[in-house]
Amino acid sequence: MGDARRPASVPIPDINKSDRSELLRALETSLGSSFSTAPLAPQPNPLIIVISGPSGVGKDAVIKRLREVRDNIHFVVTATSRPMRPGEVDGKDYYFVSKDEFLSMVERDELLEHALVYGDYKGIPKQQIREFMGKGYDIVLRVDIQGAATLRRILGDSAVFIFVVAESEYAMVNRLIGRKTETREMLLVRIATAREEVKHAGNFDYVVVNADGQLESAVKLVESVIDAEKARVSPRNVSI
């Protein structure tokens, strides 16, 4: 007895003698359906990438370069109650708001995460993330280690956490000194904090070494992480 579901058998032309479209048509007929041109891999979801690491390891340097080499990423601008410093631009470096405005934002649940850092509030506006993810952009958040721990609690595995480190403690301190932005007292605080902070790498998904003079390699690695994340079979699903 014949099987009704089985397609009619058609002779498959000789591969070397037939033209390609003829061969394709015969294969389709033999298999009982035409070959779809729809993508086999789903369109990847926008990612939230959290970049953190101890003071002076080069987070800003990595992010600045990433901004130059990669499209479709939105680098979130943090809101802060700290007064604007000379040279800073509102909406570019930070969104500068008063303490009262900041606290109203907290009350209205407009911030994904916020903290009091050295006496000033800093927080991540949710709306900015929603808006850019809606347009298909990946989102980069640059936060300190504590901020990353808070975001891990909030976002769990729905975001990608990257820990940036220098190649050694010596290199990290050297870089911090070279930047010439800290007072002697602040240097001590930052170094002591950084020593503690390097122990937190285990809470992250990836560690990227930003070795001296090797900024390009560090940025390439961050890009590779993003590319690999886009190729995941089970994508991370984030909802803010």
Cα–Cα nearest to 52, from 195, 184, 165? 165
180 phi/psi in degrees, rounded to 5: 55, 35
Q: Does 147 engage in binding with ligand ATP (CB under 6 A)?
A: no
In the complex with ligand ATP, the residue whose CB is nearer, 24 or 186, is 186
Q: Which of residues 164-193 bind ligand ATP (CB under 6 A)?
A: 175, 178-179
What is the Cα Rg of the chain in Å?
25
Distance between CA atoms of residues 91 and 120, nearest Å: 17
Active site residue 190: yes
User: In the stretch 199-218, what mask flags binding to ligand ATP with x, by CB under 6 A?
Assistant: -----------x-xxxx---
**What six digits make up the tokens of 204?**
């992250």
Residue showing the smallest CB distance to ligand ATP in the complex: 58
Q: Specify whether 70 is catalytic.
A: no
Distance between the two ends of the chain, CA-based, in angstroms? 58
Does position 57 interact with ligand ATP (CB under 6 A)? The reply is yes
Q: How far is the CB of 221 from ligand ATP (least distance, A)?
A: 12
26 vs 173, beta carbon nearer ligand ATP: 173
Number of neighbouring beta carbons within 10 Å of residue 134 = 9
> Which range touches ligand ATP (CB under 6 A), out of 54-62, 69-77, 78-86, 124-132?
54-62
| Residue from 231, 50, 75, 52 nearest 157 by CA | 50
Task: Quote the tokens at residue 155.
Answer: 């976002």
| 148 makes contact with ligand ATP (CB under 6 A) | no
85 is annotated as an active-site residue:
yes
Out of 7, 31, 60, 168, the only residue in the binding site for ligand ATP (CB under 6 A) is: 60
Neighbours of 13 (CB within 10 A): 14
Q: Which residues contribute to the site for ligand ATP (CB under 6 A)?
A: 53, 55-61, 175, 178-179, 210, 212-215
Active site residues: 85, 179, 190
